[in-house]
Structure formats: C-alpha cells, structure tokens
Chain A
C-alpha cells in the first residue's frame, strides 16, 4: 500500500524528517506517536502533498506510484485521505456541496458514474447520522462556526463518504471529549477492512483504547526510533516519551 523509504524533508531550510522509513500493508492500522516537534504533522502533510515542504531525500511509493510526484487532488483520487489536525473553515463553500464535488471528482477519475443528488443526499444523511452530525451542519459553510469536536467529526464524515484506501488521521483525537472520541473511533472502526489501511498520528495513547493498532511507531527527531505492537503505547503512557527515548538512545 504505502512504502516510505529514508524520507528526508526540510521546512524553510530546517531538516524535520531525517530518514524516515515505514511500510503499511493493506488492512493494517499503524499508530505514529511522538513528542511535539518530532515531525508527525510534517509526515502527514508531505503524504497529502501540501506545498512548502522540501523533500531532500528518499522516496514514497503508494500503490506502485511515486506519491511525491502527484498533485494533492491526484492523491485523493487514488484513495489517499488526510484528516486535518486543524480542519479549515471555509465560509461561503457549502459543506454538502464540497462533499458532493469531492465524491464525484473521485468517481469521475476512477471511471465510475457520478452520483445524482438524491442518492447522494440519502448517503450523506446516513453517514452523518453515524457520526452524530446534525443535518443542519450539512448546509452550513465548510466547518464554519463548528466547535473543535464538530470539525473532527466532520473530517471523519468526509472519510466515511470518500472511502479512501489509505487514511492518514493527523491528531484527530486532540481536543475531543470522551464521547466525541468514541464517535470518531466508531467511524474509523466501521471502515476497517482487509484492503483499507490507516495511519493514526497521535500524541496520546488514549485513542488506541478505542482503535486497536497493528503497529505502534515512536517518532523522534524525524526518525522512527521504536516500533512495536499495542504494548508499546501502554509503555509510553506509563514511562512517557523521555523513558522510551532514553531507552532507544542507550541501544
């Protein structure tokens, strides 16, 4: 699905990712944990194709394609989804309008017929109910005046609608109360399948109480310093990043 090989990325001349390697196979859920400034969000943005990041070395292969050569929308058409840490408010662009444009853009590029308005509205209402998003939110501007939790649920709503092959969720759990966290986790769990993969980027172990990862990685100073299973997250919760990093340094 995704192979990141010795990826090096700079922002404004400062090296952020310093030889990061990661392989995600179909159906797997990977958690990427790490302290602030370790490069977690940079990884998410580079995978989605945001401008302003300079790739200075390494490669990223997604389903056999050179991901870094693709435009952000091409990545979306190919089934990559980024759940934003800070979803953007876009007043004047209607939420449903964006969802429909996004869904049909993907279908068009995969050679599938576009969905008509009636089927689309039925589908989006179903998915919104699952995410406990009120219908009235659908007709508002994209994320306009949404609370932090509503924005994150809206991200997951978009994900369930677009049915990506690989979803990168950047700190989707941050700023959520426990109820919202469960709703978000349910959304992710309902999407689990043998041919769909997830990269959960998170600062806290809490999310992993609700979503069982196959692998947990610890990112520090732009490299993965530890990889393990769910136990690693538990250990992190107990010892903190300092303990793990000290242990990694002594190896």
Chain B
C-alpha cells in the first residue's frame, strides 16, 4: 500500500514537543505500512478502508468545534470531552487529591519527559496494529496519574465524540494507577458521520492497584473505529475490563493484557453486535508473564443481517509463570443466514503446573424457548429480541455504571427490534 502520501503529510506538519514519539511512530509505520491479510492478525479484516480513510483525512488536522456542548458533571462520573480526537475547547480537567490529569497537547513541561518515555516504551506491533500510525499523528490525549494509596470514587469518563466532520481522531490515553490505588476509567465513543478513530489507551497498574475499565463503542454506522488497549498489571493488582462494541461499519479492537508480576488478576467481559453491514473484529491477548497470575475472559458475539463478527482470543503462559489459572470462553449467536462469525480461541503454554481452559460455541436461538415465549403471546420478533437480550445480559450487567448500563440496554433493544424485523431466519 502506498504510504508516500501520508509521509509527506506527516513531514509538512509543524513539529511539537511530541516530535520524538511521532518520529519513532512514523519510522515504525513506514517500515510495515498498513497491515494486510497476509498477516494472521488481519486474516478476516480488510484494512484497506482504514488506509483509504487515513490517507484522505490525515491531511487535515482535526478541529474540535467551539460549539461543542461540554458535559456537565452528571454526578456519577468525572467527564472529559474530546471532539474529533481533540480535547474540547473550554473543557476543564478533573481535579482530586492524588489525581493528576493533563492533556497531551498542553502537557506541562515538567511532565513531558515522563510522557515521552511511556510513548517510547509502548509495546506496539506495527504489523498487527495501528499504534505506530497513532503515535505519528497523535491528535491529542490525556496523561492520567493516580498517586499511591488514592481511591477515586467517581469514574473518569472520557467521551470521544465525532461531530460528523471527515476527521481522523488519533487519541492517546496514558494512565498510571499507583500502588494500592483504586480507580474506574470509562472510554465512551459516540458520534455522527463518517469519521475515523484510531485510538490507543495504555494503562499501567502498580502493585495492589484496583482498576475498573469500561470501553463503550457506540459510533455511527458510517464510521471506522480501530483501538488498541494495552494493560500492564503489577504484583497483586486486579483489573476488571468490560468492552461493549456496538457501533461503526468496521470496528477493530485489540486488547493486550500483561500480567507482569505475581498475583496479578484480570477479568475481561466483552460483547459485540455486528448487524446491518457491520464488521466487528475483536482480539484479546492475555499474557501470563509471572507465577500465580490469574485471568478470566468471557466474550459474546452477536451477528445479524449481513454482519460479520470475528473473535480471536489468545492466552499465553510464559516460561516460569507456574500456578497460572486462566479461563477463556467465547459464545456467539448467529441471527440470520447471511451473518457470519469466526472465532479462534488459542492457548500457548510454556510453563508446567498451569490451569488453562478455553472454549467457543456458535449457535442460533433456542427454538424451544422461542416457542415457549410465543405460546404466551409474545410475537415472534419480540420473542427473538428478548432471547438475544438475555444472551447479552451476562455481559451488559457487568457495566459498572447504571446510567451506561441502561444506555446500552436501550441501544441493544432498539437495534435488535430493527434487526428482528428485517431478518427472517
């Protein structure tokens, strides 16, 4: 794929303090270009629409409109609004004891070395993800640091909104959760129009930290969404991750979780809905790098209409990571004869004395349950939607905030009602 155009666009940009990270990103990106299907990681997903839109949109630096409606603190979260990948003008950053938040575009000079060092050591994989391109073209982002022994009650809710402009948002979020600290982080993507998001979020948890991390992707059906979530867990730290992917015509999410020290634990709950023409590609890679680390992954996929879903979950147990206990389960539901789901759970084990289990199923709605509901007077479309919502409920109920749980339920209900009317199995 031709990357010369992008290179010129990149060279013409004015330099800023992020330049060292941008240079490394651009060099890594030019090494490999956009991924193609020869790469196992892109076997089912064609990156060409991402390449086309990147080349078209990255020519202009995205602008966050002044007219953006700033979120008011709704009481249940600390909201931060980004529009088209840039911090909304006038957006105040949350302040709390032990909490430091800075925007990347206006990072205080004393923070810059620290941020550049995190960017330099970011474990991206140019052949598999678009994190190098993100580094080259970072549109804005956040540095969030929680000091040791800090408990942040309210979640930080980062709202990534697209306003319909042909913008390439390339946000980068860098989070450090200090030892014995607790916090909740929400990435909430939504918007209108045919935008492009290439997001990278990198979270480090120090020893004994607690993290709840929700990613909610409700982008418009014309948008393209690529995200890389990187999580590194220190000794005895615990994280619970919920991923809800409902939007975009092409969505690709990579999660890399590294259980880097003994006693670290992660729970991952995920759900995607690929309906209409949507293409949802979800990847998890859970690295057990240290002894006595534990993980549990539960991922559900739903495909309707001409939707296409891909799940690829890999658990890797590194040499020496004895006492690892990992369970990966993936269940999928096909709602039409034209929908498709490909699933590939994998285990790579290089240690003895480990407990690992993985399983994947793909099926259709239970006809007996469907008949039972209809025999009670629930019409066929509504009965089908009820059963699909029930299938999703195990994941949706994991959403840590009532308001967002309701929002997801409402969105799912509306979408399924539409899907059930157009799909006759």
List A residues at the B interface (Cβ < 8 Å). Answer: 48-51, 71-73, 75-77, 81-82, 84, 87-88, 90-93, 98, 101-103, 105-106, 109, 141-142, 158, 162
Decide: B377 and A73 in contact? CB cutoff 8 A: yes
Known A-B contacts: A49-B375, A71-B380, A105-B379. Give 9 more (CB < 8 A): A72-B375, A76-B375, A87-B372, A88-B366, A93-B389, A98-B373, A101-B386, A102-B377, A158-B376
- In the complex, 21 of the A-B residue pairs with CB atoms within 8 angstroms, ordered by the A residue number, are A48-B375, A49-B374, A50-B371, A71-B374, A72-B371, A72-B374, A76-B374, A76-B375, A84-B372, A84-B375, A88-B366, A88-B372, A90-B373, A92-B389, A93-B386, A98-B386, A101-B382, A101-B386, A105-B377, A141-B390, A162-B376
Complex CA distance for A88 and B386, rounded to whole angstroms: 14
Q: B369 at interface (Cβ–Cβ under 8 A)? A: yes
Across the interface, name the chain B residue whose C-beta is closest to A164. B377
Which residues in B have their C-beta under 8 angstroms from that of A82?
375
Decide: B376 and A102 in contact? CB cutoff 8 A: yes
Which residues in A have their C-beta under 8 angstroms from that of B374?
49, 71-73, 76
Decide: A92 and B371 in contact? CB cutoff 8 A: no
Decide: A73 and B380 in contact? CB cutoff 8 A: yes
User: Looking at the complex, which one of A50, A88, A92, A106 makes contact with B394 (CB distance below 8 Å)?
Assistant: A92
Question: Given A77-B377, A105-B377, A162-B377: A92 and B393 within 8 A (CB)?
Answer: yes
Which residues in A have their C-beta under 8 angstroms from that of B377?
73, 76-77, 101-103, 105-106, 109, 162
Complex CA distance for A73 and B384, rounded to whole angstroms: 13
Q: B378 at interface (Cβ–Cβ under 8 A)? A: yes
Decide: B367 and A73 in contact? CB cutoff 8 A: no
Which residues in B have their C-beta under 8 angstroms from that of A109?
377
Within 8 A of A (CB), among B386-420: 386-387, 389-391, 393-394
Decide: B379 and A51 in contact? CB cutoff 8 A: no
Decide: A88 and B378 in contact? CB cutoff 8 A: no
A87 to chain B, nearest CB (A): 7
Decide: B376 and A76 in contact? CB cutoff 8 A: yes
Decide: B387 and A93 in contact? CB cutoff 8 A: yes
Question: Given A92-B389, A92-B391, A93-B386: A101 and B368 within 8 A (CB)?
Answer: no
Across the interface, name the chain A residue whose C-beta is closest to B393. A92
Complex CA distance for A48 and B389, rounded to whole angstroms: 25
Which residues in B have their C-beta under 8 angstroms from that of A105?
376-379, 382
A-B interface, 4 closest residue pairs, ranked by CB to CB distance from nearest: A92-B390, A76-B377, A102-B376, A72-B374
Which residues in B have their C-beta under 8 angstroms from that of A106?
377
User: Looking at the complex, which one of A73, A81, A87, A91 makes contact with B390 (CB distance below 8 Å)?
Assistant: A91
A50 to chain B, nearest CB (A): 5
Complex CA distance for A181 and B352, rounded to whole angstroms: 56
Decide: A101 and B378 in contact? CB cutoff 8 A: yes
Which residues in A have their C-beta under 8 angstroms from that of B376?
76, 98, 101-102, 105, 158, 162
Across the interface, name the chain B residue whose C-beta is closest to A84. B372
